Structure 1
Amino acid sequence: MEGEMKTLLWGASLGSLVIAGQVQAQDRANTTDHAALEQDRGQIDTIVVTANRRSESVQDSSLSIAVIGGDDLADAGVSEATDLGSVVPGLTVSLGGGVVQTYMRGVGDFATNANAESAIAYNIDGVYISRPNGIGPIFFDLERVEVLKGPQGTLYGRNATGGAINLITRKPEAGFSGEVSAEIGNYNARKISAAAGGGTETFAVRGAIQYNKHDGYLSDGYNDADSIAGRLIARVRPSETIDLTVMGEYLDMDSQGAATIKRSMFTPVPEDHWEGPSIGNIQQPPTAFIPGGTRIEDDGFNDTKVKAVSAELNVDLGGATVTFLPAYRDTDAAYLTYTPGFYYNTAETSKQTSIELRLANDGEALTWVVGGYFFDEDQTQNYELRAIPIQQSTVSTELGTRAYALFGEATYSISPEFRLIGGLRWSRDEKSQSGLSNAILPTPGQTDNFAERDFEDVSWRAGFEYDVGPENMLFGTAATGYKAGGFFPSVPYPDNSYEPEQLTAFTLGSRNQFLDRTLQLNLEGFYWKYDNKQERFLGATPGGTTGLLTTNAGKATLYGASMDMQFKPTRNDIFHFAVEYLHTKYDRFLYQVYNPSSTAPIINSYPENATSCSLGPVEPYTANDAIPPLQYDSTQSVDCSGKPLVRAPKWTGSMGYQHTFELGGGTVIIAGADGQFSSSQYLSPDFIESGRDNGYLSINADVTLELQSGLSIKIWGRNLTNEAIYTGGGRYAFSRPLAAGGDPTLFYANIRAPRTYGGTVKFRF
């Protein structure tokens, strides 16, 4: 509580001093279009989005949406998904090995392997990115990013339970334009970006490339970056009614990868929050000191390659527009990472094909879209898990997913001021898993991982929009989202299966502009109900090993409110303030853990200090034919009902101020600062104190000199308060180690970057 109050007081003080400049602000002055600056009357710009599968102003949309412009992303240093959490309140993005973990208002997935699917749908130009390890550093040469909060089941389908993140690339246009930028900073950071394109109204091409490299933020080299990504887009418009865009992408990451660092209440932790886990003994788990035990080393790696091609064909039929969107993505990932007490060496492949066909009409009284969707993905997964001498195993798995959907949504104007919204989506998922788990320790053996299931769901959306005034809209919506069930590698179905999750969300909001569009105030209140929430945790599997399991947590309730305010008193000044309050609670979160038999070389009961949840009595357990004998002799229930959702802080927000100094002759200086804050949050469903982040306040600042020639020079600093910001993690699995001593609640956590600073030179033409 003290940490939360401290954070809020800091936030209030910062707001009163107005030392911020939120990168999420939808109007920036740093543009080389100085003629436009001269004509600027000081109004807040209109931002057009396509999240509803049609073009509309943000202020006319009833979606809970945050929009970040491409220039703002670059200014904030956003190169990959993990950077995005620093610019959007309510969004937490972390890494589990080489896999991106995304949570929106506490809704997400502890994704760590090929079995995991995010509850937040990432899309690039309308194409769904299925693999959380295939997102990577693709946040370059973008027009904008749209962050949709809440279930998007109607238009975005499965795996959009908590929301969707849409990346919209810059498209080629007639003429010729481009930009080149070079950035250097501490931690030996260097980033080079370039984009150029042009052509005629009939045919145009744009290419973009980004190289990003910096040393590890952890002292042993982890949390580094080394990537190169490219994108080529061609646009063909042979007539006024036909518009075809074809895009090819390539991504190559070759870094040491992410690591987690020790957090504990009872044993010392390094004074330097970013001391690498492989250095010395203080970061090592107790099992590292057992003869032959698994130590954390500095040999981790993340080698991921993505190749993708997609197309979008729009044909104007007069009364409606047909959109055809075929796509293919090939992801090849290999990474070695250490999690608390474990060594994971993983290789995964994914071949994803998707096709979407839509028919849409944007009429005066009725706007509608109908369509169909097909998705096909084939995956392989091979990994070795070590926790020697307690456990060692290998897993070889093949996974298949076939998904089908039919959807439609319409908005009907009863009057010029009042509109009704309705939509439906039918989804079907056909999933399969095959392969073997091979135990080496503690007891050699082999387990068949076979599983096969189908899932179906109907999602819906309904609501209204009411124009209270020319620049004021009131809206209310109710919507549902669905995430298919699945499997984890263990004994055969049904013991390795879990059910789909559903979320129902109610939102009441108001979008407003006042004072001749110089003040913008958007307010929202929301209430979410979760059923069968999927939760991943580290525990004993039914097959006699320790690993990541997925269970259905039961029910949860979330509610809160948000405010987003922008004020542009002059054409040279803009203020921004956003805050979100979130209350979450598991109404029911009950699961079973398996206790090893006395012959197993690990603890004989689930330790009470491994969780703050309630533990039930130890019950006798009788193994079935699928489970090797002598692995377990009892089960025990764990009841976390009443706990808050993980990665769901009560308060998050941002604030900012930016001023443009006009020096004459087309030269300007733009100075700004921004701050983000968060109250405390649990990082994993263990609900232990060492697994709680106490909240933070992070401040960034930058100064840019822009010349009329298109040249700009920027000096920037990020996380100037050098806050240790933790974004995820997990409990040390063997909470009562064989070795003497050790922390029974040892926790390892992901951490964001420390203080960074540098300069960027950019030339636009």
Structure 2
Amino acid sequence: MIDFKSRLGSTSLGHQSLTLIAMSLCMATYTIPSSAQEVDSNQKVEQEKSSAKLEVILVTSQRRTEALQDVPTAVTRIDGNDLADEGIPDLLELQSLAPNLQISVAAGMPRVYIRGIGLTSFAMGSEPSVAFHVDGAVISRPSAQASSFFDVDRIEVLRGPQGSLYGRNATGGSLNVHTRRPTDAVEGYANFQSGNYGLLDLEAAVGGALVEGEFNGRIAVKIRKRDGYGVNQFDGRDLDNEDLTAVRAGLSYAGSEDFDAFLSLTHFETDAAGDYHYIGQARPDITPREIVLGGQVADNIRDNNSENLIGGSKDLDTLTLQMNWNLSDTVTLNSITNYLDYVRHARTDLNGTPLQFYANNQFESSTHYSQEFQFNWDGDNHTTLFGLYYFNEDIDASITIEGPPPYTSVLNRPFLQFEGQQESESYAAFWNTTWKLTESLSLTTGLRYSKDEKQDVGTRTIPTGVVFPIARDEAWDALTPTLGIDYTISDDIMVYAKIAEGYKTGVMNIGNNSPAVDPETVISYEAGIKSRLFDQRLQLNMALFNTTIEDMQVQRPVDGNLITVNAAEADIKGIELETIALITDNLTLKFNAAYLKAEFAEFVTANTTFTPNVLEDLAGNPLPNSPRTQADISLEYYSDFENFEIKSRVQYAYTDERWFNEFQEDISYQSSTTVLNANVLFRFENSDWSLNIWGRNLTDETILSHVNVTSSTIGHALLATLMPPRTYGLTASYEF
């Protein structure tokens, strides 16, 4: 395993000291009440027992509003206010809030994993295994999925296949982002945030009635700028910085008892320099040529040393229209229409030295349209959903690798290039019914038919200058059922079991002249319990699951070509625990834990780094990015003083060791990690202002988010992306 310690910057405070400081700050409110509060508390204890209970948590994971405890599947709800309070700015840091959720970023592309199933490919045209929805509409391109983290009402994390309820199918689960809707009352907020690394962030929204009783509007804006977590030592420019602007406008109509609608328009743009970080070489006997010729890598893992103008930009515009008709007292028709236009540019360095050898230029343009209809019927003894779905996407993309000077100055052509255009069309029909067999027993049945068509044209250029033309046309379809049963033991306890099949469409990597990759399918068995105990003061939810993946899609670099192949089979078993306990009226404990055993059952392939001509049986190796255990525990304490109130929170998150490729190699590995997060929120009496002091990764752990083992062409260099270092700041908020 590579020792990174010599390349890390030093910290001024030890881990134990920082832990004590954070806990002391968050728990200080336990012992500093006002005298009036002490008297009142003593009187209350003497006079009556506490009547505080956990709040009812509402979700829409089954396409209808219901209590989380009534949903017979594994779902986690994350409140938008919690994201703001805890200083969570984006998708990457969401993983500490839900069990068996792992998120990394490579080349500006989020890679979301749920229960060990996720995006293993960063080639153009890849398809995620976890669906990502914003206000009910799917965002298909993985690199575009970080654009909606502002003015968020809630995020729902759905684990396991969801095909009989959602238009766009996926095998791992779904992340559903719900933004705040316009209301008839005038309301809004403004959050001003400042922090280390020069962070400046403004998020604001305002809304209210435009036409009384008919039209309501809301507009939200987010502007965020931050210096880099590192620098390019060659030119002093920031590395891994932020510079984004986002605007969302919403218009709702509620002027009829039988019809309502919501229109949302979002613009998002960012211009930042994210890059790989050179962390070493995979083989001690092979040194990348640029280092042999005297190129020097950066002396800190968060820095780089490149002659390239590292940078990247994203520009997204999307429109979503939701319409709902009440056809009768028991029947509704819902429509979700979405249009999205997205462009991304990225330039990264593949050698980490100032010598001109390999620079990676990526371009991706996507335009997609989707239409979904849902027909809902609430019968006397059943709740039924029928759905129709259509999706169309046009992608224009390229990956261009600039080579050493002979290619750029003499031959005037790229060293490698993958480019092309692809069109995808998807059709689906799905049905889901929950039958009320008795007052306590329900049966859920569902079925989905999916049909996907893809065609593309393009070219692949190799170092010799030979150009391979590409023209492919493929279609796939699948029929995937769902069957579940749930039993209500009492008003506070429900048990359930379900079987669901999932399907992920086949893949054509743009500019790759290998054959199209077959679809990925899963069958998932899940059993669980949802409970509220001790007079609604303890919520205890547990799920056990066993999943088999067939034809799993895995990417491999072969001679400079990114090849996606079908691994034969993988087996996944695990258990998840989610707990909320109201220990006292003012103290809340949250504890999440997960055990995951995700392994290849059959996969024979060659290790292109060490033994490229020898086939290996990888049965028993863990799936990429699938830690065996995860746990997070948090304490939240509320204190009410004479002129203000304090809500303090401290969280400790543990993630077991994990590998980033299928070979279980120390060259692509992150040891177990622990992260400490905390915040203290002050709200002032008779005031619309609040102050929030927050900090994340307070012990300043250096954590690898992803490691890419490059091909022999680049000398098997190890290129990594990193989780954020210690960050802290102050947020001033005004609400009205």
Tell me whether the two structures share a fold, i.e. TM-score over 0.5.
Answer: yes
2:468 alignment partner, one of 447, 455, 465: 447
Moved more, 341-350 or 513-522: 341-350
User: Could you tell me how far apart the structure 2 residues matched to 1:539 and 1:80 are?
Assistant: 33
State the Cα distance separating 1:340 from its structure 2 match.
Answer: 5.9
What's 1:650 paired with? 628
Check if 1:329 corresponds to 2:340. Answer: yes
User: Could you tell me how far apart the structure 1 residues matched to 2:24 and 2:460 are?
Assistant: 55
Check if 1:55 corresponds to 2:69. Answer: no
Moved more, 216-225 or 418-427: 216-225
8 Å Cα contact 2:133/2:176 also seen in 1: yes
For 2:682, the aligned partner's letter is: L
For 1:353, the aligned partner's letter is: Y
State the Cα distance separating 1:115 from its structure 2 match.
Answer: 1.3
Check if 1:82 corresponds to 2:92. Answer: yes
Structure 2: runs of 5+ lacking an equivalent? 4-14, 27-43, 233-237, 297-304, 353-357, 408-413
Q: What whole-Å deviation, never above 9, does each CA across 1:400-432 have from its counterpart, x for those lacking one?
A: 001000011000010010000010110000001
State the Cα distance separating 1:141 from its structure 2 match.
Answer: 0.8
What's 1:136 paired with? 146
What's 1:681 paired with? 658
State the Cα distance separating 1:293 from its structure 2 match.
Answer: 8.9
For 1:572, the aligned partner's letter is: N
What's 1:438 paired with? 461
SS in 2 for 1:565: strand
SS in 2 for 1:133: helix
Structure 1 residues 52 and 749, CA gap change in structure 2 (3 angstroms): same
Check if 1:287 corresponds to 2:289. Answer: yes
State the Cα distance separating 1:638 from its structure 2 match.
Answer: 3.8
User: Could you tell me how far apart the structure 1 residues matched to 2:535 and 2:147 are?
Assistant: 39
User: Could you tell me how far apart the structure 2 residues matched to 1:91 and 1:170 are?
Assistant: 24
Structure 1 residues 547 and 20, CA gap change in structure 2 (3 angstroms): farther
User: Could you tell me how far apart the structure 2 residues matched to 1:293 and 1:482 are?
Assistant: 47
Q: What whole-Å deviation, never above 9, does each CA across 1:534-559 have from its counterpart, x for those lacking one?
A: 0012222xxxxx12110001100010
Structure 1 residues 172 and 85, CA gap change in structure 2 (3 angstroms): same
What's 1:468 paired with? 489
What's 1:662 paired with? 640
User: Could you tell me how far apart the structure 2 residues matched to 1:523 and 1:214 are?
Assistant: 39
What's 1:699 paired with? 676
User: Could you tell me how far apart the structure 1 residues matched to 2:348 and 2:729 are?
Assistant: 29
8 Å Cα contact 1:125/1:167 also seen in 2: yes
Structure 1 residues 54 and 20, CA gap change in structure 2 (3 angstroms): farther
What's 1:501 paired with? 520
8 Å Cα contact 2:123/2:562 also seen in 1: no
What's 1:206 paired with? 218
8 Å Cα contact 2:282/2:718 also seen in 1: no
State the Cα distance separating 1:524 from its structure 2 match.
Answer: 1.0
Q: What whole-Å deviation, never above 9, does each CA across 1:102-128 have from its counterpart, x for those lacking one?
A: 111221113424311111100001100
SS in 2 for 1:753: coil
2:256 alignment partner, one of 239, 249, 253: 239
User: Could you tell me how far apart the structure 2 residues matched to 1:127 and 1:292 are?
Assistant: 51
SS in 1 for 2:142: coil
User: Could you tell me how far apart the structure 1 residues matched to 2:66 and 2:441 are?
Assistant: 16
For 1:486, the aligned partner's letter is: V
Structure 1 residues 732 and 265, CA gap change in structure 2 (3 angstroms): closer
Moved more, 236-245 or 38-47: 38-47
SS in 2 for 1:498: coil
State the Cα distance separating 1:18 from its structure 2 match.
Answer: 9.1
8 Å Cα contact 1:222/1:259 also seen in 2: no
What's 1:752 paired with? 723
State the Cα distance separating 1:214 from its structure 2 match.
Answer: 0.9
1:374 alignment partner, one of 383, 390, 415: 390
What's 2:564 paired with? 550
What's 1:302 paired with? 312
2:420 alignment partner, one of 379, 397, 405: 397
User: Could you tell me how far apart the structure 1 residues matched to 2:295 and 2:727 are?
Assistant: 36
Q: How many residues align?
A: 671
Q: What whole-Å deviation, never above 9, does each CA across 1:307-361 have from its counterpart, x for those lacking one?
A: 0111000000113000011110000111112346852201111110000011002
User: Could you tell me how far apart the structure 2 residues matched to 1:416 and 1:403 are?
Assistant: 39
SS in 1 for 2:474: strand
What's 1:531 paired with? 550
Q: What whole-Å deviation, never above 9, does each CA across 1:226-253 have from its counterpart, x for those lacking one?
A: 1011111100012111111000000001
For 2:487, the aligned partner's letter is: Y
8 Å Cα contact 2:398/2:511 also seen in 1: no
What's 2:451 paired with? 428
Equivalent residue runs for 1:170-249 within 5 Å: 170-199=180-209, 200-220=212-232, 221-249=238-266
Q: What whole-Å deviation, never above 9, does each CA across 1:168-197 have from its counterpart, x for those lacking one?
A: 111011110000010000000111000110
State the Cα distance separating 1:266 from its structure 2 match.
Answer: 8.3
For 2:493, the aligned partner's letter is: N
Return the TM-score normalized by structure 2.
0.86
User: Could you tell me how far apart the structure 2 residues matched to 1:152 and 1:285 are?
Assistant: 46
State the Cα distance separating 1:157 from its structure 2 match.
Answer: 4.9
Structure 1 residues 533 and 18, CA gap change in structure 2 (3 angstroms): farther
State the Cα distance separating 1:42 from its structure 2 match.
Answer: 2.1
User: Could you tell me how far apart the structure 2 residues matched to 1:74 and 1:263 are?
Assistant: 37
State the Cα distance separating 1:285 from its structure 2 match.
Answer: 6.9
State the Cα distance separating 1:384 from its structure 2 match.
Answer: 1.0
What's 2:602 paired with? 588
Moved more, 716-725 or 304-313: 716-725
SS in 1 for 2:728: strand
User: Could you tell me how far apart the structure 1 residues matched to 2:677 and 2:510 are?
Assistant: 43
8 Å Cα contact 2:99/2:577 also seen in 1: no
SS in 1 for 2:197: coil
Q: Percent identity?
A: 27
Q: What whole-Å deviation, never above 9, does each CA across 1:566-612 have from its counterpart, x for those lacking one?
A: 1113331111111000011101112357xxxxxxxxxxxx553x6xx
State the Cα distance separating 1:637 from its structure 2 match.
Answer: 2.7
State the Cα distance separating 1:215 from its structure 2 match.
Answer: 1.1
SS in 1 for 2:82: helix
Structure 1 residues 677 and 490, CA gap change in structure 2 (3 angstroms): same
8 Å Cα contact 1:157/1:427 also seen in 2: no
User: Could you tell me how far apart the structure 1 residues matched to 2:127 and 2:434 are?
Assistant: 31
What's 1:515 paired with? 534
8 Å Cα contact 1:19/1:674 also seen in 2: no
User: Could you tell me how far apart the structure 2 residues matched to 1:89 and 1:414 are?
Assistant: 32
Q: What whole-Å deviation, never above 9, does each CA across 1:611-660 have from its counterpart, x for those lacking one?
A: xxxx7xx4xxxxxxxxxxxxxxxxx4343222110100001121100111
SS in 1 for 2:81: helix
Structure 1: runs of 5+ lacking an equivalent? 4-9, 22-37, 268-283, 541-545, 594-605, 619-635, 738-743
What's 1:568 paired with? 582
Structure 1 residues 297 and 363, CA gap change in structure 2 (3 angstroms): farther
Structure 1 residues 169 and 514, CA gap change in structure 2 (3 angstroms): same
State the Cα distance separating 1:156 from its structure 2 match.
Answer: 2.6
State the Cα distance separating 1:66 from its structure 2 match.
Answer: 0.9
User: Could you tell me how far apart the structure 2 residues matched to 1:736 and 1:171 are?
Assistant: 49
State the Cα distance separating 1:516 from its structure 2 match.
Answer: 1.3
User: Could you tell me how far apart the structure 2 residues matched to 1:229 and 1:113 are?
Assistant: 27
User: Could you tell me how far apart the structure 1 residues matched to 2:138 and 2:724 are?
Assistant: 28
Return the TM-score normalized by structure 1.
0.83
Check if 1:672 corresponds to 2:649. Answer: yes
State the Cα distance separating 1:490 from its structure 2 match.
Answer: 5.5
User: Could you tell me how far apart the structure 2 residues matched to 1:368 and 1:693 are?
Assistant: 45
What's 1:362 paired with? 378
User: Could you tell me how far apart the structure 1 residues matched to 2:429 and 2:227 are?
Assistant: 47
For 2:391, the aligned partner's letter is: F
Structure 1 residues 92 and 339, CA gap change in structure 2 (3 angstroms): farther
8 Å Cα contact 1:153/1:481 also seen in 2: yes
For 2:319, the aligned partner's letter is: V
SS in 2 for 1:175: coil
8 Å Cα contact 1:672/1:701 also seen in 2: yes
